[in-house]
Amino acid sequence: MDKDFQDIQQLDSEETNHQFSGGEEPGTHGQNPRRESPFWKGQPPSQTFPKRLCSSFHLSLLALSLNVLLLVAVCVIRSQSTRLQEELRTLKETFNNFSSSTLVEVLALGSHKGSMSDKLTSLEAQLEKHQDLKADHAALFLHLKHFPTDMSSLKCNMVFLQSNGTKCCPVNWVNYGGSCYWFSRAGMNWHEAYAYCQLENAHLVVINSWDEQRFIVKHMSPFHTWIGLSDIQGPWRWVDGTNYEHNYQHWDIAQPDNWHGHEVGAGDDCAVVLANGFWNDKFCAELNHWACEMKLNITV
């Protein structure tokens, strides 16, 4: 702006000098100033002073406007920078607070996890202890439930020993309906089973009723079991002489069939109680479980 002002002053000075030098002198009226005055030597000025002044003013005004715009832009940028710095500081503080709170929550969660793990371990220990107590309770209840039977069996064993086997049932024999019953845990053919019961002062079981049938099936399941019934000597006979024709029978459908398809040529001559409870005639050399029966003089 100072340079523009100096240019304007220089133009004013030149214009004043031109007026003084170009004024009319005596005897020069009507003459061409371009011819007479040395000031007009060379090319004539391209523009008048007012135009030059106006042009300089416009340039000054434009420069002033650019300066004002630049100042405004600087102010706006500075304001934006200040606002951005403030937002950045706020965001940084928020992030720091979030990080701190998150760290506190993570630490609290870790502590809570440890506490929950301890509680879970304690609950597992209590549960195991409770299960052990429950198992002990069940075992005790089972013993108490069987206590009367055990006492009766003990008393029966004492009576059996005192009476030389004429009273009550021997050990591992089952007392039912005035008889003692023993059920095998292995297999023999019918003849071997018959001899075994004889050695025990007993005989292969003789079934006389539906109740006795259910008792036998209950204790022999799920094995086929030889009973004291055969037709080896002709008609079907019980080993204790019980009348077969008038006694209880529980044959399976289409049995006995006395099948003769065995390799040795013998038929099915010995009776067995099947796993389903029905009777069937089998080859006497087959291996099956068996049951012995012993009559008692008294029952306890």
- Per the CB < 8 A criterion, the answer to whether 269 and 284 are in contact is yes
Structural domain that includes position 94: 46-162
Same-domain pairing of 125 and 180? no
DSSP state string for 128-182 = HHHHHHHHHHHHHHHHHHHHHHHHHHHHHHHHHHHTTTSSS--TT-EEETTEEEE
Same-domain pairing of 59 and 141? yes
Task: Residue 282: give its domain's CATH number.
Answer: 3.10.100.10
In a domain? residue 8:
no
In a domain? residue 190:
yes
Q: What is the pLDDT of residue 164?
A: 60
In a domain? residue 24:
no
Same-domain pairing of 150 and 256? no
In a domain? residue 103:
yes
CA 192 to chain centre: 58
Same-domain pairing of 153 and 203? no
In a domain? residue 23:
no
Same-domain pairing of 155 and 210? no
Q: What is the pLDDT of residue 26?
A: 43
Same-domain pairing of 199 and 114? no
Annotate 74-96 with b (16+ C-beta within 10 A) or e (fewer): eeeeeeeeeeeeeeeeeeeeeee
- pTM greater than the 0.85 cutoff: no
Q: What is the pLDDT of residue 172?
A: 87
Task: Give the pLDDT confidence of 212-254 residue by residue, as tens digits.
Answer: 999 999 998 788 999 999 988 889 999 999 999 999 999 999 8
In a domain? residue 107:
yes
pLDDT band per the 50, 70, 90 thresholds, residue 77: confident
Instruction: Give the C-alpha separation, 231 to 199, whole Å.
Output: 22
The C-alpha R_g of the chain, in whole angstroms, comes to: 67
- Per the CB < 8 A criterion, the answer to whether 238 and 263 are in contact is no
Same-domain pairing of 275 and 180? yes
Instruction: Name residue, tokens 């009550």.
Output: 168
Q: How many other CB atoms are there within 10 angstroms of residue 267's CB atom?
A: 17
Same-domain pairing of 183 and 139? no
In a domain? residue 275:
yes
Number of domains in the chain: 2
H or E element, residue 225: strand 225-230
Q: What is the pLDDT of residue 69?
A: 85
Total length of the chain: 300
Same-domain pairing of 198 and 287? yes
In a domain? residue 119:
yes
